[in-house]
Structure 1
Amino acid sequence: MAGKVITIAQQKGGSGKTTLAAHLAVALARAGMGTRVALLDCDPQGSLGEWFERRETALGEDGTGLDFRTASGWGARREARSLARDYDVVVIDTPPKSDIESRPAIEAASLVAVPVQPTPIDLWATAPTLEMIAKEGTPSLIVINRALSRVGLTEEMSTAIRELGHPAAQTRLGNRVGFAASMGQGRAIQETEPGSKGAQEITALAEEIRLLLG
């Protein structure tokens, strides 16, 4: 039985795609039941690859708990499907601004997670990504990212999200320094700050996605 493919896509830069991809992969690998997780980096910037190299340095090649590959363009779809034959979950990080580069990874996905910061400008900029996902007929999930602590979504923002016509995750990720700080160490916030609000949020999001994927 083939594994599930989770593609992280957002054409707007600065949405936190790479951080979300790394943290979801670690959370799913730590979820128990022997879940085997692979990361596929399709972003030419290679930020996810740099994170993984730091992870190997910190934990050793056999201690990362993940596998890592790279691909570009149409090769992403082929590589994702190949990995899904050997792993329970494949998490793909896609490049911003390029629908041509992102489309193959979206085609291969079981679910596309779309990180969005809760501002009107970010919501407007997300529309092209959601339209591309809709054309491919792939299930999607909007993930509110970098939400300010102790500030709930305004009714205006909540309405705007609903009007996008795509489901949104119940779990929101806060604007927490721990996410970026852990990335610099080749780790995830669940490993550097276990029990923290950020660790709880990403664990809850991973569980929400796992249940969606069945």
Structure 2
Amino acid sequence: MIVALLNQKGGVGKTTLALHLAGEWARHGQRVTVIDADPQGSALDWSQQRARECLPRLFGVVGLARDTLHREAPELARDADHIVIDGPPRVASLMRSALLAADLVLIPVQPSPFDGWASAEMLSLLGEARIYRPNLAARFLLNRCGARTVIARETAESLPDHDPPVLASTIGQRVVFADTARSGRLVSEIDEDSPATREIAAFCAEIGSIAP
């Protein structure tokens, strides 16, 4: 399965989620490759930090920030059980290529009306991609939120008609996620019994239940 995490709004946690989805699959014995399609190269930076810390390699990270992604990703998928694409913000040509490559698109949004409104541009691109890929699955994911807060509920309700649907899983605003970016680790490696680790496991399980 090729999963792309996309949103034209930057700073919504695409890289963190992409790395943790890949890491959770890798922990369960799956072969995973992360495609860093963001020109900023944050996933590659994380991978390099992990190497500097002499931590074991869980999955490969490949830089592929170009609009031929939809042609190159299937080649990489031949040697992996899953491909996870960390998408770019505000680069429409790269976004379109990632959409055409994916079996499932995840759109992370933060619990803010501004993020709900910003998703409209993303949905327009998704609609274009479905002309060519009518079976392309997509889901919203509420990130950096308290699952029971009023603002999180209001954000979910503001997402247009819940189409794409909103995942039941939510990811909280937790300091440990910032620690993973600096250390080249995953939350499960920092504290295997933490709420963040449980949230990532639930998120991964829900993604696994969505047939491409």
Q: Normalising to structure 1: TM-score of the pair?
A: 0.90
Matches within 5 A, 1:125-204: 125-137=118-130, 138-148=136-146, 151-153=149-151, 156-161=154-159, 163-204=161-202
Contact 1:94–1:105 (8 Å) recurs in 2: yes
Contact 1:77–1:108 (8 Å) recurs in 2: yes
Offset of residue 160 of structure 1: 1.5
User: Within the alignment, does 1:19 sit opposite 2:19 as a pair?
Assistant: no
Offset of residue 152 of structure 1: 4.8
- String of CA shifts for 1:173-194, please: whole Å, max 9, x gaps: 0000111111211011111121
Offset of residue 74 of structure 1: 2.2
Contact 1:113–1:140 (8 Å) recurs in 2: yes
- Tell me: CA distance 1:156–1:16, structure 2 relative to 1, closer, same or farther (3 Å): closer
Contact 1:73–1:102 (8 Å) recurs in 2: no
User: Within the alignment, does 1:91 sit opposite 2:88 as a pair?
Assistant: no
User: Within the alignment, does 1:70 sit opposite 2:63 as a pair?
Assistant: yes
Determine which of 9, 17, 30 is the counterpart of 1:35: 30
Determine which of 100, 112, 124 is the counterpart of 1:107: 100
> What corresponds to 2:50 in structure 1?
55
**Partner Cα separation in structure 1 for residue 193 and residue 127 of structure 2:** 37
- Identity fraction in percent: 36
Determine which of 27, 41, 45 is the counterpart of 2:40: 45
Contact 1:41–1:94 (8 Å) recurs in 2: yes
Ranges in structure 1 where 5+ consecutive residues have no aligned partner: none
- Tell me: CA distance 1:101–1:148, structure 2 relative to 1, closer, same or farther (3 Å): same
> What corresponds to 1:212 in structure 2?
210
- String of CA shifts for 1:56-89, please: whole Å, max 9, x gaps: 22245xx211012111222322221111111000
**Partner Cα separation in structure 1 for residue 121 and residue 210 of structure 2:** 24
SS in structure 2 at match of 1:97:
coil
Offset of residue 154 of structure 1: 5.9
**Partner Cα separation in structure 2 for residue 173 and residue 181 of structure 1:** 15
Offset of residue 162 of structure 1: 5.5
Offset of residue 127 of structure 1: 1.0
Ranges in structure 2 where 5+ consecutive residues have no aligned partner: 131-135
- Tell me: CA distance 1:194–1:45, structure 2 relative to 1, closer, same or farther (3 Å): same
SS in structure 2 at match of 1:69:
strand
Offset of residue 155 of structure 1: 5.2
- Tell me: CA distance 1:164–1:185, structure 2 relative to 1, closer, same or farther (3 Å): same
